[in-house]
Amino acid sequence: MNITEKILAKGAGLDKVVPDQIIDVAVDYAFTHEKLGPVFFDKFRDMGLTIWDKSRAIIFADHGNPPSRVMDADLIVKTAKFAEDFDLNFYNGEGICHQLMPEKGYVSPGRIVVGTDSHTTTYGAFGAFSTGFGSTEMAWIFAKGRIWMKVPRSLLFRVSGKLGSCVMGKDLALHIMKLIGSEGASYKAMEFTGSAISALELDGRMTLCNMAVEAGAKNGIIEADEKVIEYIKNRAILDYEIVKSDPDAVYERIFDIDGDALPPIVSLPGSSANSVPVTETAGVPITRALLGTCTNGRMEDFREAAKILKGRKVHPKVRLQVIPASRSIFSQCIEEGITQTFLESGVIWCNPNCGPCAGGHYGLLGKGEVCISTSNRNMTGRMGDSTAEIYLASPATVAASAITGKITDPREFI
């Protein structure tokens, strides 16, 4: 079996599972947030349900916090009341769920973590099985601690070599999107391995697994190593098991990628699968830039951007919005001087939250605007007006482009 199959087999109490098998799985942690949790909160109470384990059901208010609309404020009030009524761990405005889950120790190798957010796939970076579920299914999980699922077929991505200067995990993710398409991994596991993956920091691995769902994947996953162990050693609440794929594990398809040859990548508006080398989009004028979100709001992302922004100014026609993924990341940026570097460059710092990524919070795009963003989705109307255009790129490319006022190869600044 491969990593995904082994973790699911253990969660189902079975010796072995095979692709397409329907199994009943016990989860280790489950969470919801203020955007999707309120869908089931009232019904949960009306049915007289109780939480299966109060220490393992987590609540967040992260998508639009602090709220910019009365509707969002009411959702947070409702979410806070549910957390209080059931005595659950509630993180209100401390950051994005996908950053806080590993930060707070809820993610560790070999465990099963689920949430009402598609980008729950992020935690595969720690050798865990993680995936998103809908609100109705999450109500069942909150009550029972279990859920049925189909064992996914698996794709293996072997990335050799090492990513070059200004080439980040986001570039690799966008390249893979182009390689297999937006439905190329529908209900499949995407497993990443190879020397280039081992060389990635955890931040880059989180980006890669975060983007797996953009290809329709059930989960993304990477074998845990010493980098993971170092990160979780003072965080993980539960014990852990480093799970490895067997040498004879079966994959539906194997992709070999040369990491040494990979350039910075940009996705054209409409789909993250519309990806091309940055040189093919160089010169496209932009008016907005976004650095942050659950995809690229971490320390590696800000450090890479700071290398380019230091001593330079954001173009006068560009608004560069920076949103850290958590309060602790914001604090670390202050300690390392990154906050000051960004401020001197002319960026707009925002509190930790999801921001304009899903079109529901401050920083939205107006008619005809062009944005280059580190977020994970760029379909029409995603971040505001339907006439606005969104290009996806790495933090390095976003920083370089914000300086010049047009899409720019970040290697020009290094």
- Going from N- to C-terminal start, the domains of the chain cover 3-257, 265-413
Count of other CB atoms within 10 angstroms of residue 134: 12
pLDDT at 366: 95
Only one residue has tokens 């070059």, namely 164
pLDDT at 153: 98
Q: Which residues of the chain have pLDDT under 70?
A: none
pLDDT at 328: 97
Pairing label, strands 129-132, 253-258: unpaired
* Closest listed residue to residue 210, CA positions, set 301, 288, 135, 302: 301
Dihedral of the alpha carbons of 142, 148, 150, 154, in degrees to the nearest 10:
40
Only one residue has tokens 């280059």, namely 372
pLDDT at 243: 98
d(CA 263, CA 279): 9
pLDDT at 359: 86
pLDDT at 414: 84
Residue 145: what residue type?
Answer: G
Domain 3-257 CATH class label? alpha beta
Q: What homologous superfamily is domain 265-413 in, according to CATH?
A: Aconitase, domain 3 (3.30.499.10)
Alpha helices in 200-285 (DSSP H): 202-210, 226-232
Local structure of 348: helix, strand or coil: strand
For the entire predicted model, the pTM comes to 0.96
Domain 3-257 matches domain 265-413 at the CATH topology level:
yes
